Amino acid sequence: MADNFIHDIIEKDLETKKYGDKVCTRFPPEPNGYLHIGHAKSICLNFSTAAKYGGKCNLRYDDTNPVKEDVEYVDSIEEDVRWLGFQWDKRLWASDYFDTMYEAAVELIKKGKAFVCDLNGDEIKEYRGTLKEPGKESPYRNRSVEENLRLFEEMKEGKYKDGEKVLRAKIDMASPNINMRDPIIYRIAHVSHHNTKDKWCIYPMYDFAHPIEDAIEGITHSICTLEFEDHRPLYDWVLKEVGWWSAPPQQIEFARLNLTNTVMSKRYLKAMVEEGVVEGWDDPRMPTIAGIRRRGYTPEAVRNFCEAIGVAKANSTVDISLLEHCVREDLKEKVESRNVVFDPVKVIITNYPEDKTELCEIENNVQVPEMGTRQVSFSRELWIDGADFMEEPPKKYFRLFPGNEVRLKGAYFITCTDFVKNDDGSIKEIHCTYDPETRSGSGFEGRKVKGTIHFVDAKNAVPVTIRQYDYLYKENEAGEMASNPETVKISTAYAEAKAAEAEKGERFQFFRHGYFVADAKLHEKDAPVFNEIVGLKSSWK
């Protein structure tokens, strides 16, 4: 069953056998930066569409612009696509087709459909006209085929400087679509290319190269974002005029992903890396796939998110809380919990023997009993969250305060009898008594308490570094995106001993706090570092 308009198109094409039984898509990144969550939408769409119809999806590097590209990015792109759970059929480079593209350009010249133009960049812009006014034909438009062939060859031979000449398609300077007003299809650039080195000093423009890349690979449905809708007539024109392919691919546009509180363009992300605003492309605050992976998001969550937002024909902005919701939903029944105490304060159980320690059973995941239990130790001195004690509680505060009784999750009921302050007014220690009758699992039903808090045994607590993040960009009062000055909060928390056994990249729910991951780079067993993945509560409606 078709579940979006792209699948509708494909199913009609399969019915009419437009491409026989074939469905072939491609994901065509330009290797000029790391992939971001917007690319994930395109990756999921292209790969899962091919899979749905028994077709294939290529990974093709769109490396026709030699200036901005770097092989450094290639490895990251492949790692990211694999991490998302997809495997390409072929891995290809657009630059491998430069010969064919050159021949296609010669073909157009021979047909009188392309000409060498000597106007400079500014003049071309001026001649192009506007949305309201038609353009003006270039004075070089009527060069003979022979002259054009000779000049184009000379361009290729390196006889001219950058910008001195260009090859333009000869279409229609009065077209209401500006892209059809004799667009440039080849330009001179005396730069070495990572793949073809110094073989070429002329390079094809995207609008000319892309349809040819698709056609050579036998792509049937060339899915791209909405900005290219106005380029589709040119895409079709190139394939028709070159004329080598009997069932040329078709371009289909969909709305790109925009997210609240998120800047996605590679250009901006690159600037943040270069200016040191973030620690790198894989900084956990970055919307790059490398960043969200290090942040602890799962590939399943990202795929579910891409499915949930669907594929539309109109641009919109998705609330980032939906992505966070998908992460939380995915982790909820997958990860074990750990007791970790933030902003720790000491609790002394005054009626508990000094040298005694007992072990309490705690569920690894309250929602999934099959995940079993683990043991945490309990003794006379414990740590609890600073936020779980108040000297003078407001109404409806059910946690610890003088005279109040709470349940320690997995252990006993304790009652606060007293507390001691430091000179600076902060809490030094809280004195409590415990009721031995109330041990968890003993079936005690004598009385109920309203609050349950968690604890960590001070005897074997492990200090861990906690890194919590905020959005790099936030909407300001005027409703504009503005960079957020404070985006990382680093603190030390105390964790139950077992938390220190975490492997790099392992995820947990820190009970009552949120989901956390052992940082892939900074975490060490003798110096644990955890990133906050996402909080427990959803703000998504």
Active-site residue list: 30, 256, 266
Provide the minimum distance between the beta carbon of 66 and ligand ATP in the complex, in angstroms, as a whole number.
Answer: 15
CA neighbor of 380 nearest in space, from 358, 351, 349, 409: 349
SS3 376: strand
Give residues in contact with Mg ion (CB under 5 A).
30
Provide the minimum distance between the beta carbon of 117 and ligand ATP in the complex, in angstroms, as a whole number.
Answer: 27
CA dihedral 540, 49, 18, 255 (to 10 degrees): 30
Centre a 10 Å sphere on the Cβ of residue 159 and count the other Cβ atoms it contains.
13
Where does residue 360 fall: left (phi above 0), alpha (psi -120 to 50 degrees), or beta otherwise?
Answer: beta
| CB closer to Mg ion out of 270 and 439 | 270
- Residue of minimal Cβ distance to ligand ATP: 38
Residues of span 181-200 touching ligand ATP by CB under 6 A:
none
Residues 6+ apart with CB under 8 A from 268: none
Work out what residue 29 binds among Mg ion, ligand ATP, none; the CB cut-off runs from 5 to 8 Å by kind: ligand ATP
- Give the separation between CA 386 and CA 511, rounded to whole angstroms: 15
| CB closer to Mg ion out of 30 and 279 | 30
Site string for ligand ATP, 205-244 (x = CB under 6 A): -------------------xx-------------------
Provide the minimum distance between the beta carbon of 37 and ligand ATP in the complex, in angstroms, as a whole number.
Answer: 8
Residues of span 19-58 touching ligand ATP by CB under 6 A:
28-30, 38-39, 41-42
- Give the separation between CA 301 and CA 298, rounded to whole angstroms: 5
Work out what residue 135 binds among Mg ion, ligand ATP, none; the CB cut-off runs from 5 to 8 Å by kind: none
Work out what residue 278 binds among Mg ion, ligand ATP, none; the CB cut-off runs from 5 to 8 Å by kind: none
Work out what residue 220 binds among ligand ATP, Mg ion, none; the CB cut-off runs from 5 to 8 Å by kind: none
Cβ(108)–Cβ(154) below 8 Å: no
| CB closer to ligand ATP out of 74 and 400 | 74
Residues 6+ apart with CB under 8 A from 73: 31, 32, 33, 34
| CB closer to ligand ATP out of 46 and 438 | 46
- Give the separation between CA 212 and CA 235, rounded to whole angstroms: 9
Site string for ligand ATP, 388-427 (x = CB under 6 A): ----------------------------------------
Provide the minimum distance between the beta carbon of 223 and Mg ion in the complex, in angstroms, as a whole number.
Answer: 14
Work out what residue 265 binds among Mg ion, ligand ATP, none; the CB cut-off runs from 5 to 8 Å by kind: ligand ATP
Provide the minimum distance between the beta carbon of 242 and ligand ATP in the complex, in angstroms, as a whole number.
Answer: 22
Provide the minimum distance between the beta carbon of 262 and Mg ion in the complex, in angstroms, as a whole number.
Answer: 18
Residues in the chain: 541
Provide the minimum distance between the beta carbon of 66 and Mg ion in the complex, in angstroms, as a whole number.
Answer: 14
Residues of span 251-270 touching ligand ATP by CB under 6 A:
256-257, 264-267
| CB closer to Mg ion out of 30 and 429 | 30
Work out what residue 256 binds among Mg ion, ligand ATP, none; the CB cut-off runs from 5 to 8 Å by kind: ligand ATP
Residues of span 267-296 touching ligand ATP by CB under 6 A:
267
CA triple 469-472-477, angle to 5 deg = 115
| CB closer to Mg ion out of 142 and 265 | 265
- Give the separation between CA 103 and CA 124, rounded to whole angstroms: 25
Provide the minimum distance between the beta carbon of 54 and ligand ATP in the complex, in angstroms, as a whole number.
Answer: 22
The DSSP secondary-structure symbol of 256 reads: P
CA neighbor of 210 nearest in space, from 124, 95, 99: 95
Quote the strand ranges of 305-461, DSSP E: 316-318, 336-338, 340-341, 344-349, 357-363, 373-379, 381-385, 405-408, 413-421, 427-435, 452-453, 456-457
Cβ(340)–Cβ(456) below 8 Å: yes
| CB closer to ligand ATP out of 185 and 257 | 257
| CB closer to ligand ATP out of 309 and 406 | 309
Task: State which H helix or E strand residue 507 sits in.
Answer: strand 507-510
Q: Which residues bind ligand ATP (CB under 6 A)?
A: 28-30, 38-39, 41-42, 224-225, 256-257, 264-267
